[in-house]
Structure 1
Amino acid sequence: MSVSRFGVSLDEELLKALDNYVSENGFSNRSQAIRHLIEKNMVEEKWKCDNIVAGAVVLVFEQSKTEILKRSSEISSAYKEYVLSSQGFYLNEINYMEIIAVKGPSRILTEISDKLISIKGIQHGKLVMSKAG
């Protein structure tokens, strides 16, 4: 694959943000980071086409908040045809991580993850999707 070079103009704030992104994610240079962001955007655009994808919803919360697991289970049950499995891990004395494996139309998986991530008490939530075949 041939590589094309081009110039990019960014204001100081965006340039600092790009440099932070390069540093935080271990990219060797700005070009690598920009390539990654463009490829990531291309994948996310494909999700909008409602393709069948597989993914995982990752939730982190305090393990003492047992109502979160109850609510997560209720949401997963409502979408049982798209939820493949779930697994939980004790990260430390305080935090718990639940990973919910999902497969289906990207629109539905996004809907499921939005409901899960918005559960009161979730410290961090993220949906990761990939092509299913």
Structure 2
Amino acid sequence: MSQMIFVNLPVKDLDTTKAFWKTLGYSFNEQFSDDRTASLVISDTIVAMLLTEPRFKEFTKRDIADPVTANEVLLGLSAESREKVDELVDAALAAGGSPALETQDHGFMYGRSFQDPDGHTWEIVWMDPKVIEAQ
């Protein structure tokens, strides 16, 4: 069995957050979702658990970082091509996300980033498979 990752992220407005990700073409596992939690399916092995801030607080004794003013994590996703990087980031910006960092183009690696409506930074990166195989 493949190892999975479940990233837990606090969100201010669950409906707004769900609408944003649906606009980008992602789906939710309703079996693990309710009125305070949405299980965002990114791939077969990657799930983001989007939790309302009160629900997120049930899992920690620490303060919730405000992703608009501080970064606790940068979330990186691979893309199958440079064009897919642009498609996803452009769609995120059109759906209410905001630009994060400048485009990174190193020839063999291309990436762009955006902040989702809650301020979490997502980096979308393509790496040339020929370069990876040569390593």
TM-score normalised by length of structure 2: 0.33
Structure holding more helix per residue: 1
Structure ID, larger Rg: 1
| Greater RCO (CA < 8 Å, at least 6 residues apart) | 1
* TM-score scaled by length of structure 1: 0.33
